Structure 1
C-alpha cells in the first residue's frame, strides 16, 4: 500500500498543490516613462547553462503584470537577488502584489537603487542585492517580438500563443532572458574566485509562495553544509590515459595529468578531455601536464592575475 495520498492538481500548482522551493527575485524593468519599476518573482530559473554562445534565465509571470508589459516594450531587466531579511521580504511581498501601477508601487519603495553596469538605457538595480543579473529578453526566439503588438491587453490575451517565449497563454508569459552581466558584492565574488566555505555564502531565503489566500511563506537562512562526492567512483587511470591520448594526434597528456581526471564521471570524461584539448590548441600547447591542468581547472584564473 502506498505511503502517499493523491492530491488534485489545480492552477498555480507549485504553491496550491505542492511545496516547491523557489528563489526570491526582485525584477527591475523600465516603465513607459523610463523610470525603474520593481516586481517580485519566484518563478525565475536558469535556462541555458552551457553549450550556447550565451547564458540565459527563464521568467514565468502574468502577461498583464507591470514587469511583463515593460519587458515586452523595452526587452531589458535586472534580476536582483536579496538576502534573508524580514523587512526586505515584507517589502518584496508589497512590490509583488498585483493591482497597482509602477508609479504607485515605486512611490514608497524602501529599496535604495543604483545604476547597473550595462550600457544604454537600463533599469536601476538594488543596492542591497547580493547579486544582480542584468538581462535582455531574447525576443527573436519563436518570433516573440511580434507580441509587442499585444501590449496593453490587461484582461487576458486571445490565441494564438507561443510555446515557450513571449505570451504563452491567456494570462501567462515566458521570457528567455540573456544574461548580459552578473554583478556581485565583493565578499561573494571573492569567495567564488578563491573558493567557498560555509561562512562565505549569502544568506539566501527559500520562498514557498502564496498560500491559503492569506500569506506569502519563506524560510529563514541557516548555515550551509557540504557533502563530499562519493568515494570509489573514480574512473580507472588506464581508461583515462587510453581516451586522452587518442582524442587528438597533436595534443598529448602525461600520466600525472590523466590522474587529475579520474574523478570526472565517466559519462562526462570525453567532454572534459575535449575541453582540455581545445584549451591546448588555443594556447599552443602540445603536452598537457599538471601545470596545464591546474590552469584549465581554474576557471577564474584570469581574475586572480588582476
Structure 2
C-alpha cells in the first residue's frame, strides 16, 4: 500500500541514467519548443528539462536537449526558438507524448499536431520559412528566445545539449497579462509531468485549483517586502532599501498604488534610482 508512513525507513535508490525519472520522482511543467527545420517547417518538441536560468540582470532559459534531436539541430542552425506553454487539456496529452518520440522527421510528427500554428505578433519575429518559427495559438504564454552560443554550459560531445536561450520577448494572452498587472488573482491551469517511466509510460498530473498563502509580516526587516515589490514595477526604476524604509507606514493594501505613483514621478523627473532623499522630497511636496 502506498501512503504516508512516518516511520518508514529510507533505502538507497540506484543511480541510473536519466536519474530524475528513473531513480527518483521529479514533477514539473514543460515547454513546447517551436523551431524551424531545414525545409522551413515549424517543428514542435516537448521539453520537461527546461528551467529559468538568468533571472535578474539577464533573462534566459536553460533547455536540455537530446543530441541530434530536431530541436537540437534546428536551434544550432537558426539560433531561434519559441517556448510555448499550454494549459491542461487531457485530450492533447497523448499527442504531446507522440511529438516527443525520437527518430521522427518534422513532417511525420506534425501530422498529429493538435495545435494551431500562428505567426508571432512581434515585429521581426514573423515566420519566414528559414529562421523564425510559428507560435501556438492555444498557448497562454510564449517566450521568444535566441540561443546564446557564447555561454556554453558543457560541450563535450558525450552529454545532452545544454542551450542557454536568451529571452527577447514574453507574450501573454490578454487575460493573463491583465492578471499580472492588476494584482495576481489566479494562476494558469498548467499540466504537470513526472516523465517517462518503465520503458512505456509517460506520467502526467492534473493541477488542482491553485491557492495562495500570505507572506509573513512579522519576519525580517519591514522594508524587505516593499523593496521586493518596488523593484518589480518598472525595470528602468529601482529603489534603495533606505527609500523603502520610508514607506513601511503605508497600509499593505495601498503599497502597490503608492509605489506606482512614485515610479511615475521618478520617470517624469528623469530619476532612475529612487533613494531616501527622493522619497523625502515627494512626501514634502505632497504635504505642502
TM-score (norm 2): 0.74
Alignment match of 1:106 (pick from 86, 91, 110): 110
Cα distance between partner residues in 1 of 2:54 and 2:114: 33
Structure 1 equivalent of residue 272 of structure 2: 282
The alpha-carbon deviation at position 231 of structure 1 amounts to: 3.9
What's the secondary structure of 1:48's corresponding residue?
coil
Unmatched segments (≥5 aa) in structure 1: 143-163, 241-250, 263-274, 293-306
Change in 2 beyond 3 A, CA 1:72/1:222? same
In the alignment, structure 1 residue 34 sits paired with structure 2 residue 50: no
CA RMSD in angstroms comes to: 3.1
After superposition, give the CA deviation of every residue in 1:211-242 in whole Å (9 maximum; x if it has no partner): 011111111021001112234214268xx9xx
Runs of 4+ aligned structure 1 residues displaced above 3 Å come to: 251-256, 258-262, 278-281, 283-286, 289-292
The alpha-carbon deviation at position 140 of structure 1 amounts to: 1.9
Change in 2 beyond 3 A, CA 1:259/1:71? same
What's the secondary structure of 2:112's corresponding residue?
coil
Cα distance between partner residues in 1 of 2:274 and 2:199: 62
The alpha-carbon deviation at position 259 of structure 1 amounts to: 4.0
After superposition, give the CA deviation of every residue in 1:116-158 in whole Å (9 maximum; x if it has no partner): 125154100010011010100001224xxxxxxxxxxxxxxxx
Change in 2 beyond 3 A, CA 1:42/1:289? farther
Cα distance between partner residues in 1 of 2:205 and 2:106: 28
How many equivalent residue pairs? Answer: 240
In the alignment, structure 1 residue 119 sits paired with structure 2 residue 150: no
In the alignment, structure 1 residue 206 sits paired with structure 2 residue 192: yes
What's the secondary structure of 1:141's corresponding residue?
coil
Structure 1 equivalent of residue 90 of structure 2: 86
Matched ranges for 1:74-223 at <5 A: 74-116=78-120, 117-120=122-125, 121-142=131-152, 164-165=153-154, 167-197=155-185, 200-223=186-209
